[in-house]
């Protein structure tokens, strides 16, 4: 894997479906504090639940922690796609 290019993450449907339910609040892997899981966006009548993130006060960064209410931390694969 190279450090140049566009980063990606991938998850299979079976991998997501077999993951444990995401508990709220979520323990942060950086500061070890607990942060509320936030939906990716709001749509029409309420928040979308496809992607869930936490915002760490210590780093000021946002981290993906859930897909469809499932805890995806430590799952999936990733790498980079070379830029042309």
Give per-10-residue mean pLDDT for the chain (84 aa): 72 89 91 90 66 92 90 80 72
Structure tokens at 55: 């915002």
For the four alpha carbons of 19, 57, 77 and 47, in that order, the dihedral sign comes to positive
Cβ-contact 50, 68 below 8 angstroms: yes
What pTM, to 2 d.p., does this model score? 0.74
Specify the DSSP class assigned to residue 51: E
- The total of other beta-carbon atoms located within 10 Å of residue 28's CB is 19
Q: Rounding to the nearest 10 degrees, give the CA dihedral for residues 66, 67, 73, 75.
A: 180
């Amino acid at each position: 894997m190279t450090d140049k290019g566009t980063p990606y993450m991938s998850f299979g449907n079976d991998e997501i479906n077999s993951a444990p339910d995401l508990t709220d609040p979520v323990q942060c892997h950086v500061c070890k504090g607990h942060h509320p899981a936030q939906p990716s966006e709001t749509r029409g009548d309420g928040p979308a639940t496809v992607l869930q993130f936490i915002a760490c006060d210590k780093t000021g960064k946002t981290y993906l922690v859930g897909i469809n209410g499932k805890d995806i931390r430590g799952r999936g694969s990733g790498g980079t796609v070379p830029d042309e």
